[in-house]
Amino acid sequence: MKNQEELYDLRHVSVQKSSLKVLDQISFNLLSGQALSILGPSGSGKTTLLKVLMGIEKYTGELRYKSKDLSLLDNILFRRSLGYVNQGSLLFPHLKVRDNIILQARLLNWTEGQIEERLDEVLQIFDLNKNLLDRSSAQVSGGQKQRVALARALFIKPQLLVLDEPFSALDQMLKKELLEEFSGYLKKIGISVLFVTHSLSEARNLCDFYILLNAGKMTDQGNFNNETSDLSEFGRQFFGSF
């Protein structure tokens, strides 16, 4: 079947920082084309797990990406192949919108022609006006900043999109609108997604699968579309509180 190659295979992945087990024996699999949300309260280890999956955080245990030991990949090249929206500061404020969006393509040595062609496409996809491109990123409104950050992440047509709480700063209306639009688009292009959030409704909107973290441990995993009768005590509390 198309798109069903194994993307990630984690076995007993742990991260220790001083005396704290930030991640404790995490094991799961993700197939290519699937969208996984990494859920959990603040401080549970979500960002750390994302960094491990991006190859920028040291871990112990076994981690395979497309059947290869992740610790043996060239981590700079691997990072550049990913679409990424970080938590918090979404754009580089000293760069124009255009330079933010095309940054990764430049690092990958795209030609000017390739860049211009793709710029037209992403402006259309994200409903962004061309005259926005020459503005300084610091002058762009919150909702537009979010769109630009997503446009930047998808600019190079990555196989994997990595999102760390990208919608948290938006007001409810804007968030709902952007999430619906964005989720439709992601399904259409069939990209794999890792989506970190503490919001169950955001997770359900974008993803079919989830894992739930609590204090560095994976307490639950599942599929939003299936009955979840066998949740852990923590899982019942977490899902029940929404």
Catalog residues that contact ligand ADP under the rule CB under 6 A. 17, 20, 22, 40, 42-48
Short-list 179, 173, 235, CA closest to 205: 179
Query: Which of ligand ADP, Mg ion, none binds 45 (CB below 5-8 Å, type-dependent)?
Result: ligand ADP
CB of 179 to ligand ADP, least distance (A): 20
Between 24 and 181, CB nearer to ligand ADP: 24
48 binds, among Mg ion, ligand ADP, none (CB under 5 to 8 A by kind): ligand ADP
Residue whose CB is less far from ligand ADP, 100 or 214: 214
For helices 112-125 and 97-107, give the axis angle rounded to 10 degrees: 130
* 185 residue type, one letter: Y
192-197 β-sheet, strand order = 83-85, 160-164, 192-197, 35-39, 209-214, 217-223
Task: Outline where DSSP puts E strands in the chain.
Answer: 6-17, 20-31, 35-39, 60-65, 68-69, 83-85, 160-164, 192-197, 209-214, 217-223
What is the contact mask toward Mg ion in residues 29 to 68, using x (rule: CB under 5 A)? Answer: ------------------x---------------------
> Based on CB atoms, which residue is closest to ligand ADP, 20 or 77?
20
Match 């990072």 to its residue by tokens. Answer: 79
Residue 42 touches which member of Mg ion, ligand ADP, none, C-beta under 5-8 Å by kind: ligand ADP
The residues binding Mg ion (CB under 5 A) are 47
